[in-house]
Amino acid sequence: MPTKLLQLDLFGAPAVEVHELEQPGALLSDVVPVGEPVAVPVLPGQLSLLEARSTRLAPAVDSLAEGRFDAAASFLAGLEGEVELRREVDALAAQIAAAPTADDQAGLALDEAIERIEAVGTAALGAAVRRGLPAAVARRLDGAAVGARALGKLSAHYWLLSLQPAEALAAAERLLEAEPARADAWVLRGNALLATGDLASARRAWWRALRAAPLDTVVADIADDEVRGLVAETAELELAPPEAWLPIVGLLMGVFAWSGDPFDREPTPADRFFAALARSRAATARGRADIETRRSMKQFAPMLFERLLEEGLV
């Protein structure tokens, strides 16, 4: 039987018959059905070479991911056979170091530089650069005044972008030591805790943000769909401003656990409702019903009071 020689399209298009051979051979068409995509085989030893290079470049990947571009360039300078890669990383490190401000650094467009590094290096190096730039920005902000920002964001935000939640948590806590009622720091602390897998502690942090400075809390920045969804629930209950009422609605919906967390500031209607709710819960715990307090709660937010009453939370 003559064996068909097929022109194979490696991007998945159907194969096209070219001509026939009288001598059968070990052709790809013998084992791959016509019309199916064909994987390009890895040559013997090629995979081990790629693995060996990846291992050799691992310290550079680590330095880039940490935002230590000069350290990565210095490491590559000691490797033989990596002249092109060293040149690209040197240029990248110089570009980042030349940014005069944190804003300039955070706004750098590195796509082309990353593509060149991936072309002469590995995909892991490119991914490390994408993590490393926000880490470099975060480190720069941490070395500046407390509360310094780049493009309107605190250092903890950039630590989270670099996938380093422990650094983000530490940065947020340093800011909270200086300003305990700072809502954006509480939000970032919660996001960092969530990134470590501690949802309960994260929600306590977001609760504190909303209780400390509700009108300064950007709910869209909270990394929890359920907490962000409380805005719609609050709107249905005709409560405004919604940020001030989110803790109580979150309590109603089972998103937040009860916590007083008082802060020294001018009380809002939501704060007065909150204080009344605390008194009502305390009275209930003693086996009494504080009728006067319940009336005041109903006056402040009738629909919310009815929902809380239905759930047995007052």
Would you state the pLDDT for residue 300?
82
Q: State pLDDT tens for residues 49-98.
A: 788 889 999 999 999 999 999 999 999 999 988 999 999 999 999 999 99
CB 247 within 8 A of CB 260: no
Q: Which residues contact 33 (CB under 8 A, 6 or more apart)?
A: none
Share of the chain above pLDDT 70, in %: 83
Pairing of strands 149-150, 3-7: unpaired
Q: SS3 for 239-258, per residue? A: CCCHHHHHHHHHHHHCCCCC
> 50 vs 140, which has greater pLDDT?
140
- List the beta strands (DSSP E) in 79-157: 149-150, 153-154
CB 72 within 8 A of CB 64: yes
DSSP state of 282: H
- List the beta strands (DSSP E) in 92-203: 149-150, 153-154
Q: How confident is the model at residue 32 (pLDDT cuts 50, 70, 90)?
A: very low
CB 88 within 8 A of CB 120: yes
